[in-house]
Amino acid sequence: MTDEPGDRRAVEQRIQQLERDLAEAIERERAAGRVLEAIGRSAFELGPVFEAVLQQAVTLCEADAGLIFVLHDDVYRLAFALGGSKEYRDYVEGLPITRGHGTVVGRVGLTRSTVHVRDVLADPDYELHQARKLGGFRTMLGVPMVVDERVVGVIILWREEVEAFEERTIDLVTTFAAQGAIAIQHVQLFQELQRRERELGRSVEELHALGETSQAVSSTLDLQEVLTTIVTRAVELSGTDGGSIFEFDSATRRFRLRTCYGTSDELERTLQATVIELDETFIGRAAATGEARQAPDLEQETPDPHIDALRRAGWRSMLAVPLLREQEIIGMLVVRRTVPGRFRDSTTELMETLASQSAVAIHHARLFRELEEKSRRTRADGSPQVRVPGEHVARAANAAQCGDRVLRRAARADVRRAQRATRGVHPRHTRLR
């Protein structure tokens, strides 16, 4: 006969086990739901999400501590910790972890798979002995957070006693890791969107500022006004502290200060008296190559009269951009900062655009000045007066800005006619003073 009491006990035990499994499954689902709720509430903040993940993981997996590491610049750094001593957390917080077999985090990042170490003392490859000493852990579990086949983060759980994590526990942490990866991906996408919006906004502002600068320098043929406008806009657009424009004299092969912005009167007087050679100075070498050149730290640059004057006045870095027209050196645009550091590529490109635009305006202003000078000499010599064709030169400036080929040809013809009209009176070339 069948032992009915024994069968009933077996059935009861089976029912009890199923009830425990059901309760555990419900709690796991609730835990996963709480993590998802944290993701929804936090939107684009990882701290609350990581905290929720570790609270659920440490509790349900009966771990003594939990940590989350996130990938930054190809190394993993601690993003959140729950449990463990303060000394242990402080030590791990300042520890960049690379991919490799010496750490559980590094192995997860290297293999892109879950790593379970039953006893780190028995693991010959484990290297973080100081961390183990401070934390006191023996059993470790590492689960990857994967986005686009990249391990962007790692969840670590550990126990102080040698006690392996069950398969169901590992599955639960894997679920948490997938949720954490979603949160990281959302934040990364949000940050990338913000970065692009900032870049777009900056580009729009720069284009608007360049347009205003173009209009400003093409609306006048007064050279000093053109130069002052250019250096002022250059400093404002580059976010620097000051700037200068030097004019190049091809006869002496020297640069001469024409105007400054954000510069003390004392330094301006010093620069006006400084001899800056083409072949022996920082800005001269930049002009000779025709390319922008930056000095991230003036203290590290080869001394020359210009650099020495800047250093004595407290300037620490500068960007020099040649003003060229058809390979002819017209001058040099310099922006400066009172702190050391490299200039961004976008800043250099913006200054190059401004320099190219400005070189044309300066050339036309100089041409107009020369024609005015010839007209004055004509009147002084008693020769028939020749009207200076300012509107023709202005047309040349506007044509250069808008790129209209017909206007360019007309402008060049205007200038040639004006030059022929004055050539017979005073053939000698007059350099801009």
Cβ count within 10 A of residue 107: 22
Q: Cα separation of 382 and 377, whole Å?
A: 9
Look at residue 302 in the predicted model and tell me its pLDDT. 93
Q: Cα separation of 329 and 320, whole Å?
A: 13
Backbone angles phi, psi at 151, to 5 degrees: -80, 100
* pLDDT tier at 405, thresholds 50, 70, 90: very low
Look at residue 121 in the predicted model and tell me its pLDDT. 94
Look at residue 6 in the predicted model and tell me its pLDDT. 64
Look at residue 346 in the predicted model and tell me its pLDDT. 85
CA 272 to chain centre: 35
**Domain ranges in the chain with CATH number 3.30.450.40:** 4-190, 219-417
Asked if 246 and 330 count as a contact pair (C-beta separation under 8 A), the reply is: no
CB burial readout 392-406, b (16+ within 10 A) else e: bbbbbbbbbbeeeee
Average pLDDT over residues 255-263: 93
Backbone angles phi, psi at 114, to 5 degrees: -70, 140
Asked if 112 and 144 count as a contact pair (C-beta separation under 8 A), the reply is: yes
Tell me the pLDDT tens digit for each residue of 145-179. Answer: 998 888 999 999 999 999 999 888 898 888 888 87
CATH fold of 4-190 reads Beta-Lactamase (3.30.450)
Question: Domain 219-417 sits in which CATH superfamily?
Answer: GAF domain (3.30.450.40)
Q: Cα separation of 75 and 324, whole Å?
A: 45
Tell me the pLDDT tens digit for each residue of 116-134. Answer: 999 999 999 999 999 999 9
pTM: 0.49
Question: Sheet of 150-159: strands edge to edge?
Answer: 75-82, 65-72, 150-159, 139-147, 115-117
CA 110 to chain centre: 29
